[in-house]
A = this chain, B = another copy of it.
Amino acid sequence: MSTLESTAPLLLALDFGGTKHAAALLKAGEKQWLAHRRTLSPPGANAQTDLEVMRSLIHELLQDAQPTAIGVSFGGPVDASTGGVRLSHHVPGWENIPLASLLSKEFGAAASVDNDANVAALGEYRFGAGQGYDSLMYITISTGVGGGWILNGYPWRGAEGMAGEIGHTVIDPNGPLCLCGKRGCLERLTSGPYMAQQVRETLQHSPDRGQGIRDLVGNDLEAVTAQIISQAATQGDELARETLETAGWALGVGIGNTANLINPQRFVLGGGVTKAGEHFWEPVHRVARETALPEVNFEVVPAALGDEAPLWGAVALASDLVARS
């Protein structure tokens, strides 16, 4: 680890996810990790265990070195101006935790914290599929659907840090009921678990449909996932294709509406569902183009950094701290 001895600032990037955590170390200006650690949360995790897990990852990485700055992606609402966590929707005990100052005191370095969607947007902008595009929206389509903005080259977090919640914009007011109480939210129509739920219901009620999906899960409907649906669609299953078409349509409407409202240059799509292939992507592109006005130009591209987008965004947060100091 002789590179640790060079004089370039040492950046520590942390990703507190709902179910997994990652930490990585980088020399400012470099594009390759000096070291990288990733681990799953233990069952029954809370804020305290999350912090313990992260501490041990950090100590493994740092050994005796001292970070110059710390950037943090957190999977929940954050007040980015103070670096305080508001809460986690997945892990108890995170209410009003001053994460940036905790880390700053413990590791003797300035720290910057933002929520995962904003940080992933920043990661894709500075190091991924958004490089050179000063106005973009990053959208993750996974267990949930969320997003983050870059406008004029800077994160746009909204007046109270809540911008980017495209998952709970209404796409079809007569659509199925969402957990949030509304009907036809984008998340309800396009997230992985909801897609699987929709397919399970159809399989239960229509015994003649979805044979390709049934074969893949050996008739165990609980085993249906978005990934299984994608696989069945590739193999020609009609129900699977229809499901991806609906999900892609909903995302296309959401993107087209957003293009009309904000006119960004690019939409960068990440998250597991975007790996569903052409039966998902084709309607996304087509419907987004149909929904936006003809004069409104934009591109829709896949994210480049995959699961590491938040870590790379955390690097960007940390290097901005160094640049400001």
Contacts and interface: CB of A to CB of B under 8 A. Distances in A.
Contacts of A147: 261
A263 interface: yes
A149 B151 CA distance: 13
A160 to B, nearest CB: 6
Number of copies of chain A assembled together: 2
A127 interface: no
A261 B160 contact: no
Interface residues of A, number: 43
A166 interface: yes
A252 to B, nearest CB: 10
Interface stretch (A23-31, A168-176, A201-209, A237-245): A168-176
Interface in A169-188: 169-174, 180, 182
A163 interface: yes
B263 A163 contact: yes
A207 to B, nearest CB: 29
Nearest to A175: B173
B156 A262 contact: yes
Contacts of A1: none
B135 A165 contact: no
B173 A261 contact: no
Interface in A101-160: 134-135, 147, 149, 151, 156-160
Contact of A260 (B157, B165, B173, B295): B165
